[in-house]
Amino acid sequence: MLFFSVLVFYKAGIPLIASDVETTRTLMVKKTGGWLYYMYKTMPLFTVLLIVYRWKYCYDAKKVMLGNFLVAIGLVTVALGAYRGPIVTMFLILLITYNYLIRPLTYYSLCIIGSISFLLFSILGALRATSGIFYPGAWLYKVLVEISNPANALSIIIANVPSNFPFFKGQLLLNAFYSVLPGEQLAYGLVLKDMFNMYFVGGGFTPSLLGGLYLDFGVVGILVFMCLCGMVLHCFYRKMLAEFTPYNIVTYSFVLQYLIICIRGGLLQEILPLWFILILLFLRFLTEKRYVNFFQ
């Protein structure tokens, strides 16, 4: 994964130190192709898995040093991409994993960690929007926008669907699968941005979890899919408690953090989550008993 990440940065530049972060991130997709871009974005998942196996299995001093070194490389590589998603994903998975594998977090600890994380991520988001120059007003505006975004998105969708536009009838959920087809395939955020005649710099219109389900199937879709999400999460939780392995802990943490992020962005914005699932299934194969020594 490190090799693919270096190749992406070599071809498109490093967004974190670029003068125009948004343009550089766009070039990462155009110049490297979708598959190479997705390989880079799997770096957080492999970094997390490395950390978890380091926590549970590494007791030898040399292995600990090597593990720490590889983890540091992974963290730096993820940060260089200047993407909020991979950084937040890695942070949430590690936090959830730490709670179950190392030590349960108290409510006081969660409040402290949450406050610091919110402040840090909101400042980084504001810096990214202003190309590295900090404006207190821009930071406050960014915070207010991020907090109100899911509710605003849902209100816009309800006001226009089905009065001005028909329900998508599942096309929004299937949109992620179209992205693997040849040619330029727009993510549904960009499709919605054009449909609602929105004009702003950057990506598309994020419909929120409830908004995306409503766009596809209305209120019934919200009720059915939210129940399904709860059942799936509960299944992974029970599996983790039954077999307390690093793989099960990371899998449950990944599903939980993904649903948390979906509150803002929607259930299936791109094919990447399915790519992660394939990787997790492959790692499940590697962590069967006959391969367990490979990780120790």
pLDDT (tens digit per residue) in 200-248: 766 678 888 899 999 999 999 999 999 999 999 999 899 888 887 777 8
DSSP string, 217-263: HHHHHHHHHHHHHHHHHHHHHHHHHHS--HHHHHHHHHHHHHHHHHH
Q: Is residue 248 part of a domain?
A: yes
Same domain membership, residue 279 and residue 175: yes
Same domain membership, residue 176 and residue 273: yes
pTM greater than 0.85: no
Q: Is residue 259 part of a domain?
A: yes
Same domain membership, residue 296 and residue 202: yes
Q: Is residue 110 part of a domain?
A: no
Same domain membership, residue 281 and residue 186: yes
Q: Could you count the other beta carbons within 10 Å of the beta carbon of residue 187? A: 17
DSSP string, 71-86: HHHHHHHHHHTT-HHH
pLDDT along the chain (296 residues), means of 10: 71 72 70 67 71 66 68 74 74 82 87 86 70 69 79 90 90 76 71 83 80 92 93 91 81 84 79 68 62 45
Q: Is residue 175 part of a domain?
A: yes
Instruction: Identify the domain boundary among 63, 82, 103.
Output: 103
Q: Is residue 145 part of a domain?
A: no
Q: Is residue 118 part of a domain?
A: no
| Structure token pair of residue 35 | 């598959």
Q: Is residue 223 part of a domain?
A: yes
Residues 191, 206 contacting (CB under 8 angstroms): no
Q: Could you count the other beta carbons within 10 Å of the beta carbon of residue 235? A: 12
Same domain membership, residue 283 and residue 203: yes
Give me the domain span that covers residue 209: 165-296
In this prediction, residue 233 carries a pLDDT of: 92
Q: Is residue 154 part of a domain?
A: no
Instruction: Identify the domain boundary among 77, 103, 129.
Output: 103
Same domain membership, residue 86 and residue 9: yes
Instruction: Identify the domain boundary among 87, 103, 119.
Output: 103
In this prediction, residue 177 carries a pLDDT of: 74
* Number of domains making up the chain: 2
Q: Enumerate helices (H) and strands (E) in the chain, giving the number of each.
A: 12, 0
